[in-house]
Chains A and B, each alone.
Chain A
Amino acid sequence: MNLDARIPGGPLSEKWDRHRFELKLVNPANRRKFEIIVVGAGLAGASAAATLGELGYNVKCFCIQDSPRRGHSIAAQGGINAAKNYQNDGDSVYRLFFDTIKGGDFRAREANVYRLAQLSTAIIDQCVAQGVPFAREYGGLLANRSFGGAQVSRTFYARGQTGQQLLLGAYGALMRQVHLGKVTMYPRKEMMDLVTVDGRARGIVVRDMVTGKFESHAAHAVVLATGGYGNVYFLSTNAMASNVSATWRAHKRGAGFGNPCFVQIHPTCIPVHGTYQSKLTLMSESLRNDGRVWVPLHAGDKRTPSQLPDADRDYFLERKYPAFGNLVPRDVASRNAKEQCDAGKGVGETGLAVYLDFAEAIRRDGQETIRKKYGNLFDMYEKITGESPMTTPMMIYPAIHYTMGGLWVDYNLMSTVPGLFVLGEANFSDHGANRLGASALMQGLADGYFVIPNTIGGYLAQGGFGTVGTDHPEFREAMKSSSERIRQLLRIQGKRTVDDFHRELGLLMWDKCGMSRNETGLKEALAKIPEIRAEFWDNVLVPGDATDINQSLERANRVADYLEFSELMVMDALERRESCGGHFREESQTKDNEALRDDANFTHVSVWEYGGPGQSPVMHKEPLVFEECELCERCYT
């Protein structure tokens, strides 16, 4: 497996300029001769499809929702980072770069991250030009806030719905290209397979989710922007349809998978409240600016919060991390909440929650101030739980939120399959072992608006594409195997529903490969997953048929992929015998129970190559070379 990251030479700050100069160009008149497929229409996919259309390429864009305005980027609340330094508070491209590298616990590639920080400023310019209504100061200039523990105010936002407004901007640009005839939109179509011819990505097979029909689409290059795999845990903050299938199928066709065990767990989510629960809802982490996190001092103390005097409470974050208190990073806050609950001090009906208490802030600043700051979040919380955080402490618990791992890509965002590009959360590239708040939107848009429009040209300009139509044997084979798989799922007619299997897998992954991992647990999961998978293929019950809308079948198809992918995740977690960022191996911790990196042995990207059906995958390493940053310990006490 060729893992040449194709990092340009020269100083860090000049690499992207130099690279754009060195890339071959496609003559404007020739661009119309190229077909590009974009799968996914969230921030990365919509911005890529629109921009490639603007450049003159013929683009086909596919999404599983009924409209490209609904990708899960839309749910991002907090904001988008950019090194504008509008606040004159010491921010710079270099600082954003360094914060991102350090926040990722030194497991990301320097050149990519630097480029991301460089492009961040152009993203804000572009979005404003599109009419994205960012928050403004009275004087009419853009407002900023600090976010996720950053020491500078570099986050741009539109109330608590920044993702929505950015996505509607990209969606507008995409709709314009549809109107101009440069992009054809294919909603309610799900990618079933990647087609490679002579080792290059040349198209995809999709299933129409309304008619059940399979279709082949050929192109000169394929761009995947299909998001993350957080739903492998069944419960996560992801949308219900978010899935790993597109990237997993591409992996099985030769694309290396980078760092699959790196997932982010967000500390402030509304706790699980019942076995019927379908998803988890995030509460913005800005709440920790004023909320105090606590549990009862004694395990099993069932008194209500108002009956518990201060002396019988444990403000465990303030106690353990006096310098940062409740503002420790996401991974630290999450692990500590779990630790308390595991010790029997969790609260609520399930015992899997901790309090986030605003009483002191309300006493200090007054009801009005707190309501103004957090009113919409409190309303959302009350809508779901029926309780008001103004009168009783909020209950929170960590939940799976984002996946830093993804298909391996080089500096051009090309995977190990030539002609297959991967953008946004679907790739592994920029966040290392932990993503900072307000950086996901930035990465999706940098990839889509500014990176891929440049780098894909360099690939296409190399030429050498023969004529490949959808009648090529490789397309026929992919059509046949995909439709056979669908028929197989319907033929089983067992006793257990798809959700039942998904829930079982999710619980196993959460217990053994979630917030904290150890060798014994991971090995148990590794033994258990093939059993669940075998039972799935023997005993799953998928109702209905294959020729119309069948949502159970759609889910079965995705869960089948999770049942394969999860095994790779566990193997990766087992292999990485160090703790870093969101990946906490219990065997590798300091005496104060903090994550302990092992730079001598694990300063690399783990890239997994598919081994074939029933065969073990093969792990390769891309060494991470830090020329600019000195590896140091993240310390918060």
Chain B
Amino acid sequence: MREVLYVKNINLKLRIWRQRGPGTPGQFTNYETGPLSTDMSFLEMLDVLNERLTAQGEEPVAFDHDCREGICGMCGAVVNGKPHGPQPRTTLCQLHLRHFHNGDTLVIEPFRAEAFKPLKDLMVDRSTFDGIIQSGGYVSVNTGGAQDANAIPVSQRAAEQALDASECIGCGACVAACPNASAMLFVGAKVSHLALLPQGQPERNRRVINMIRKMDELGFGNCRNEKECERTCPKGVAIRNIARMNREFLRANFLSAEEF
């Protein structure tokens, strides 16, 4: 491979949250990046920093990441107060340095929420999301008994709206953005996805009640209509999914126990 001549370089100042482990206090540490290509992604910037820290005998910055295509939901940090950084509808891994200016200071810290326990540096434990899904975020069908896929028509509109909701990548940015650290966009997205489809109907009522109960139990807050979640969501999951969830919840609560 030929050595690349960078078209444009910038220097950035980084203030990164360093924390050894869950029980130990953390603090911000300052780093100068040196010249970086503006074609570089944000996570590649952290890679470059980590290579340098390693060579200097320091511990690299721990951060979660995997697909680097904006779909696995593993990455995420707060950059200058915004989860996943300043670009709308963009995960941290898809954020590129061309959106910053030479000399900018970037304050980088983990997603903070009562229900996301810190692990190390920028990594947090989001297993509470799995806990919410376990409480009912699925259709209870065993493998093998399904009828022909075309037996029940589903309107294109319902299918598209369900997909809008189920595009959620489970990254947790909505929780980090919410002043109440609420998971209602995450829960609302799953409740909506299944409530909109005929396959989700048999468990529609118990699903919404169980998921909301679990969400409360795990220490997530409630929605106060700040809409920060919608603004932050890298997949553009809309706040109307929370409204739909609230309707579903009200509806389910008006039903008698036999209807569950």
Contacts and interface: CB of A to CB of B under 8 A. Distances in A.
A125 B148 contact: yes
Contacts of B170: 67, 69-70
A544 B200 contact: no
A74 B91 CA distance: 15
Q: List 9 tightest A-B contacts by C-beta distance, closest first.
A: A140-B153, A172-B138, A129-B146, A125-B146, A128-B149, A133-B162, A133-B163, A179-B134, A239-B66
Given A386-B96, A497-B51, A549 B120 contact: yes
B147 A161 contact: no
Given A274-B40, A543-B54, A129 B163 contact: no
B74 A131 contact: no
B1 A72 contact: no
Contacts of B74: 65-66, 70
Nearest to A547: B21
Contacts of A125: 146-149
A624 interface: no
Contacts of A131: 138-139, 162, 193-194, 197, 199-200
A343 interface: no
Interface of B: 1-7, 20-21, 37-41, 43-44, 47-48, 50-51, 53-55, 57-60, 62, 64-69, 71-74, 90, 94, 96, 98, 119-120, 123, 125-127, 129-130, 133-150, 153-156, 159-160, 162-163, 166-167, 169-170, 193-194, 197, 199-200
A175 B134 contact: yes
B58 A549 contact: no
A139 B152 CA distance: 11
7 contacts: A70-B74, A133-B193, A187-B127, A187-B130, A274-B40, A497-B54, A551-B62
Q: Is the interface of B mostly helix, strand, loop or mixed?
A: loop
B138 A130 contact: yes
Contacts of B5: 349
A273 B90 contact: no
Question: How many interface residues does chain A have, given as a range?
Answer: 35 or more
A489 interface: no
Contact of B119 (A210, A352, A543): A210
Contacts of A272: 1
Given A179-B136, A241-B66, 7 more contacts: A67-B73, A175-B133, A276-B40, A384-B94, A497-B54, A548-B120, A551-B62
Contacts of B162: 131, 133
B159 A136 contact: yes
A273 B1 CA distance: 10
Nearest to A495: B55
Contacts of A139: 153
A200 interface: no
B2 A51 contact: no
A541 interface: yes
Nearest to B40: A276
A499 B159 contact: no
Interface in A75-92: 75, 84, 86
Contact of B39 (A128, A130, A159, A385): A385
